[in-house]
Amino acid sequence: MPRRDPEPLLRTSYFQVLIDDRELGFAEITPLTSRTEVDAAEGARHGFDTVILRRAVTRSTELYEWRRRIAEGADDRRTVRIEQLEAPGGPVANSWTLVDAWPCRWSGPAFDAQSSAIAVEELELRFENLVWHAQNHDQGA
């Protein structure tokens, strides 16, 4: 019987986010969730929970401006790709695409004169589909 090497455990701290092929730094991403709601009258409805991206506030208003365009009625849907890395700066182990994503909420930092915490902004995304891309790694079968 051929010997199987155990797959390496992957960390959640090595990742990158690309919005329309532009890499933006984020500190945290909420879970990617596919869900089915069952209603006696309507039957099964399949969908996805929103995803929240969190990052330190900089002088860039890019994420806020995207949300503002949506709030003003623009249909500004984008492709958001989340890539889990094997190690810092290493190869991609897994990746997911949020298809036709748009920000349904933007939040700026909370302020507290008694704290020295980093200022954080959040972008909450709705999207039409979630695609998990299989990564081809030669395992030596």
Query: How many domains is the chain built from?
Result: 1
Q: Determine how many CB atoms are found less than 10 A away from the CB of residue 122.
A: 18
* Beta-carbon contacts of residue 109 (< 8 Å; ≥ 6 apart): 57, 119, 120, 121
Three-class SS state of 134? coil
Is 56 a domain residue?
yes
Q: Determine how many CB atoms are found less than 10 A away from the CB of residue 37.
A: 10
Task: State how far the Cα of 60 lies from the Cα of 73, in Å rounded to an integer.
Answer: 22
Is 25 a domain residue?
yes
Tens digits of pLDDT across the chain (141 residues): 677 778 888 999 999 999 999 999 999 999 999 999 998 888 899 999 999 999 999 999 999 999 999 999 999 999 999 999 999 999 999 999 999 999 999 999 999 999 999 999 999 999 999 999 987 655 444
Range of the domain at 38: 20-78+102-127
